[in-house]
Structure 1
Amino acid sequence: MTVLMLFVLFTLLLVLGVPVAFSMGLSAAVILILDGGVPLLVLPQRFFSSLDSFPLMAIPLFILAGNLMNVSGITNAIVRCASSLVGHVRGGLGQVNILTSVMFSGISGSAAADVAAVGSMLLPAMKKEGYKPEHAVVITASSAILGPIIPPSLLMVLYGAMTGLSIGTLFLAGILPGLTIAAFLMLWVWWNADRIGGLRHPRAGAAEIGRSFLRALPALVLPVLIIGGIQSGIFTATEAGILAVVYALVFGAVTGQLDLRNSIRLTRDAAISTSAILIILGGAALFAWIIAREGFPAQLAQALQGLTENRHLALMLIIAALLVLGMFVETISALILVTPMLAPIAAVYGLDPIHFAVVVVISVLLGSITPPVAIILILACRIGEVPYAATLRPFMPYFAIIVAGLLVIAFVPSVTLFLPRELGGYGQ
């Protein structure tokens, strides 16, 4: 009954327009007040203890590093490199858009940063080249969700901090799933090129490919340094964030695109973004504590087992529930909300926790491009100056393609676990 009241209050506050973080925190506070058996001092204790985590310090650092790299001229270099590699393939700039998102993911870790950087450069060019504007926007938004899958990923840092899983292993686990979804999207653009208006570019020569690769090399090296350093034990995820910031500052200074004013503004932006995430995390900690105190995760696992003993069917039910949740709740909020409830279920069904983490992250991420909330799709529409309603119909095939990729990842665990086992020694 307590958990039911908690969810009813949470839903009511959301309907009234209260931000998710405050909806979780306030509903938890009301339940504790009504309970009467728990000192209210628990509220600030639980709130701040959830934030007292060394891995969480990596979040502002990776956000700042991505911001710094984005203004240092690296996006243009990545676009040129991607264009030289796949611009001649059916679909032209659509293929370039997707590959650019893959490469940009290694420095941003954020879907919003990806769609802002890649969209602002490629959407005008795609429309000028003959792409139907709504299709150009949908491709940009769909490929932007690769940002939080391919490392370094803010969502993987959050999941690892909440569950105690190795962030380095989660980073490795996200690489092949991200590339799998990218491959599915590129195949669809290739198949659909004539209908959406994509044109091929002339094939680039070896010299041009080499020059563009060298210009983009600083961005491509960064994720290798981060993952290699974490997995080799040279530094932690938080220390990797410091390395990323220093690397970005040096690169910006060398290119001449970064000055003191830019650095201060970007640091402020990173602090504001981090504060929003931490407020959500604190409110979710109160919410999750009441849920755990009432034994709801165990009850949920028991209810799932009552429905089915089949782990694959259980995973399908979880994915379906997360897709629905993501349609109405912002990505970070949804992940923080469901992780304490769902992580124990992986153990009950014998699912690998790293594999399960990647499936959960991708499932929740899909909500950021799924109507009605669709934050990333709306952002792409604003950048591309396309009415939101015009994208809903062309969006559906891309959604189906990403879901197909997600199902491959969910039911072929080796896609996720191959690199952690081969490069990280996971499970050995």
Structure 2
Amino acid sequence: MTVLLLFVLFTLLLLVGVPISFAMGLSAVAILVLGGTVPLLVLPQRFFSSLDSFPLMAIPLFILAGNLMNVSGITMAIVRFANSLIGHVRGGLGQVNILTSLLFSGISGSAAADVAAVGSMLLPAMKKEGYKPEWAAVITAVSAILGPIIPPSLLMVLYGSMTGLSIGTLFLAGILPGLVIAGLLMAYTWYRADDIGGIRHPRANLSEVLPAFWKALPALVLPVLIIGGIETGAFTATEAGILAVVYALAYGLLARQLGFRNTYVFVRDAAISTSSILIILGGAALFSWIIAREGFPEQLATALQALTTNTYLALGLIVAALLVLGMFVETISALILVTPMLSPIGAVYGLDPIHFAVVTVITVLLGSITPPVAIILLLACRIGEVPYAKAMKPFLPYFGIVLVGLLIITFVPSVTLALPWALGVLGN
């Protein structure tokens, strides 16, 4: 009854427009006050202890590094390199859009940053070359979810900090799933090239590809440095964030794109973004503590086992529930909300925790492009000046393609675990 009342209060607060972080925190406070058995001094203790985590320090650092790299002209360098590689393929700039998102994800770690940076560059160019605006916006939105899958990923950092899993291993585990989704998107774009419109560029020769590669190299090197350093034990994920910031600052200064004023703005923006995440984490800590205190995760696991003992069926039900949640709740909030409840269930069914983590992150991400909320799709439509309703027709088949990718990743664990196995990070 306590957990039921907690969720009822939480839902009511959401319905009246209370931000999710405060809705979680206030519903938890109300339950403790009504119960009267727990001293209220526990509230600040639980709130701040949830934030006293060294890995969480990586979040503002990766956000700042991504912002600094973006302003330094690296996005345009990535676009030119991607265009030199596959601009001649059927789908032209649609293919370039997807490959750019894949490469840009190695410095942003955020779907919103990906769609803003890549969309502002490519959507006007795609319109100019005759691509249908609604198709261009949809391609930009669906490929933007690669940002939090390919390392470094803010969502992987969050999941790792909440569960104690190795962030470096989570980074590695996201690479092949990201490539699978990117490959499916590119194949479908090739198939629908005539409907998308636009023109194909001439095939670039080696004298054009090499200079483009050289200019994009700083962005391509950064994720290799981060993952390699973490997995070899040279530094932690937080120290990798520091390295990323120093690297981005050095690149920006050498490119003469950074000054005191815009660097200050990026530091301030990173602080604001991190503060909002930490407020959500604090509210979720109170919420999750009450749920754990009442034994709800164990009860949920028992109920699910009573429903089915089949591991894959249980996993399918979890994925379906997460997709529905992601349709209504912002990605970071949804991940923070469900992780404490679902990670014990994965253990009950004997699922590999790294595989389960990647499935959870990608499923919640898929919700961020799914109506009615669809924040990423809305942002792409706004940048491309496309009516939201007009984007629905091309969106549905692309959503189906990403869903196929999710199902492959969910039910073929080796897609996620192959790299960690190959590098000896996990035993197989």
Q: TM-score, normalised by structure 1?
A: 0.99
Cα distance in 1 between the residues matched to 2:220 and 2:110 = 16
**Which position in structure 2 is the counterpart of 1:215?**
215
Cα distance in 2 between the residues matched to 1:234 and 1:198 = 47
**Which position in structure 2 is the counterpart of 1:87?**
87
SS in 1 for 2:78: helix
Within a 5 Å distance, the mapping from 1:169-188 to structure 2 comes to 169-188=169-188
RMSD: 0.7
Q: Cα offset for 1:204?
A: 0.4
**Which position in structure 1 is the counterpart of 2:264?**
264
**Which position in structure 1 is the counterpart of 2:140?**
140
Amino acid of the structure 1 residue aligned with 2:85: L
Cα distance in 1 between the residues matched to 2:204 and 2:308 = 54
SS in 1 for 2:40: coil
**Which position in structure 2 is the counterpart of 1:194?**
194
Within a 5 Å distance, the mapping from 1:59-74 to structure 2 comes to 59-74=59-74
CA contact (8 A) 2:312 2:411 kept: yes
Cα distance in 2 between the residues matched to 1:358 and 1:52 = 24
**Which position in structure 2 is the counterpart of 1:126?**
126
CA contact (8 A) 1:90 1:198 kept: no
SS in 1 for 2:393: helix
Amino acid of the structure 2 residue aligned with 1:27: S
CA contact (8 A) 2:25 2:287 kept: yes
**Which position in structure 2 is the counterpart of 1:372?**
372
**Which position in structure 2 is the counterpart of 1:353?**
353
Q: Cα offset for 1:425?
A: 2.3
Amino acid of the structure 2 residue aligned with 1:376: I
1:169-223 superposed Cα distances (whole Å, 9 cap, x missing partner): 0000000000100001001100000011142110000111111001000000000
CA contact (8 A) 2:24 2:283 kept: yes
**Which position in structure 2 is the counterpart of 1:330?**
330
Cα distance in 2 between the residues matched to 1:114 and 1:87 = 20
Name which of structure 1's ranges 392-401 and 418-427 shifts more when overlaid on structure 2. Answer: 418-427
1:346-371 superposed Cα distances (whole Å, 9 cap, x missing partner): 11101000000000000000111111
Q: TM-score, normalised by structure 2?
A: 0.99
Cα distance in 2 between the residues matched to 1:257 and 1:421 = 41
Q: Cα offset for 1:289?
A: 0.2
Cα distance in 2 between the residues matched to 1:238 and 1:416 = 23
Cα distance in 2 between the residues matched to 1:383 and 1:238 = 33
Within a 5 Å distance, the mapping from 1:374-393 to structure 2 comes to 374-393=374-393
**Which position in structure 1 is the counterpart of 2:242?**
242
**Which position in structure 2 is the counterpart of 1:205?**
205
Amino acid of the structure 2 residue aligned with 1:222: L
User: Structure 2: where are the runs of 5+ without partners?
Assistant: none
Q: Cα offset for 1:426?
A: 1.2
**Which position in structure 2 is the counterpart of 1:104?**
104
1:322-355 superposed Cα distances (whole Å, 9 cap, x missing partner): 0000000000000000000000011110100000
Cα distance in 2 between the residues matched to 1:7 and 1:424 = 42
Q: Cα offset for 1:424?
A: 4.5
Cα distance in 1 between the residues matched to 2:269 and 2:244 = 17
SS in 1 for 2:39: coil
Name which of structure 1's ranges 77-86 and 388-397 shifts more when overlaid on structure 2. Answer: 388-397
SS in 2 for 1:304: helix
Amino acid of the structure 1 residue aligned with 2:133: P
**Which position in structure 2 is the counterpart of 1:6?**
6
Q: Cα offset for 1:130?
A: 1.1
Q: Cα offset for 1:128?
A: 1.1
**Which position in structure 1 is the counterpart of 2:156?**
156
Cα distance in 1 between the residues matched to 2:309 and 2:199 = 50
1:225-283 superposed Cα distances (whole Å, 9 cap, x missing partner): 00000000000000000000000000000000111111000000000000000000000
Cα distance in 2 between the residues matched to 1:5 and 1:248 = 48
Q: Cα offset for 1:427?
A: 2.0
SS in 2 for 1:72: helix
Amino acid of the structure 1 residue aligned with 2:392: L
Deviation beyond 2 Å, 4+ runs, structure 1: none
SS in 2 for 1:50: helix
Amino acid of the structure 2 residue aligned with 1:352: D
Within a 5 Å distance, the mapping from 1:216-235 to structure 2 comes to 216-235=216-235
Amino acid of the structure 2 residue aligned with 1:164: G
CA contact (8 A) 2:80 2:212 kept: yes
SS in 2 for 1:73: helix
Q: Cα offset for 1:420?
A: 0.9
CA contact (8 A) 1:64 1:266 kept: yes
Cα distance in 2 between the residues matched to 1:276 and 1:384 = 27
Cα distance in 2 between the residues matched to 1:115 and 1:143 = 8
SS in 1 for 2:72: coil
SS in 1 for 2:51: coil
Alignment identity in percent?
79
**Which position in structure 1 is the counterpart of 2:29?**
29
User: Structure 1: where are the runs of 5+ without partners?
Assistant: none
Cα distance in 1 between the residues matched to 2:199 and 2:416 = 34
Amino acid of the structure 2 residue aligned with 1:272: I
CA contact (8 A) 1:169 1:424 kept: no
